[in-house]
């Protein structure tokens, strides 16, 4: 486990890699999920949070959803040849932070990773606060 945040070393390395796109999920006003691709995200290793950025972010539905609910999830994934899927899902408390570079910041509460350590493609899920680790079909 990385001492600076809730992510393992393999998860931190994966999030540092340049992935062309991730997907950000929020909850709409009527309770329906809203999932959109995001082209810019980064791990803030000091806080252990995931920041998503974007053009005109403060004018988007995802921004309004986060302001209203304070919840979001992000999935970043890819597939290595010949067919080795890998990725990470981060769910948690979210905040919309306005300023010169507005961001939606996700504070992890649940992390699900797969295929990141080269030893298994099985999903490894855990709650951040309790640090419970186990295989999961999520």
pTM: 0.85
For residue 137, with 0-12 CB atoms within 10 Å meaning exposed, 13-18 middle and 19 or more buried, which class applies? exposed
pLDDT in tens, 4-57: 578 988 899 899 886 778 999 999 999 999 999 998 999 988 889 999 999 999
| C-alpha–C-alpha distance, residues 109 and 6, integer Å | 9
Instruction: Find tokens 């504070």 and name the residue.
Output: 107
Domains, the chain, with CATH or none: 9-129 (2.30.110.10)
For residue 5, with 0-12 CB atoms within 10 Å meaning exposed, 13-18 middle and 19 or more buried, which class applies? buried
pLDDT in tens, 124-135: 889 987 444 444
Whether the predicted pLDDT of 122 surpasses 80? no
pLDDT in tens, 45-75: 888 999 999 999 999 999 999 999 999 999 9
Alpha-helical segments (H) within 2-121: 9-16, 61-69
Instruction: Find tokens 């186990």 and name the residue.
Output: 134
Structure tokens of 113? 């990773």
**pLDDT given for residue 39 in this prediction:** 86
Say which residues have a Cβ less than 8 Å from residue 116's Cβ, sequence separation at least 6. 8, 10, 11, 13, 14, 86, 87, 88
Structure tokens of 70? 């304070």
């Amino acid at each position: 486990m990385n001492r600076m945040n809730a992510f393992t070393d393999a998860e931190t390395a994966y999030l540092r890699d340049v992935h062309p796109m991730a997907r950000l999920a929020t909850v709409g006003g009527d309770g329906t999920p809203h999932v959109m691709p995001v082209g810019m995200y980064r791990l803030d290793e000091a806080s252990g949070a995931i920041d998503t950025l974007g053009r005109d972010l403060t004018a988007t539905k995802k921004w309004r959803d986060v302001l209203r609910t304070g919840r979001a999830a992000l999935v970043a994934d890819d597939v290595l040849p010949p067919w080795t899927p890998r990725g990470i899902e981060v769910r948690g408390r979210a905040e919309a932070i306005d300023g010169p570079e507005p961001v939606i910041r996700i504070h992890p509460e649940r992390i699900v990773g797969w295929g990141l350590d080269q030893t298994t493609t099985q999903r490894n899920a855990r709650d951040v606060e309790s640090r419970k680790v186990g295989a999961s079909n999520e």
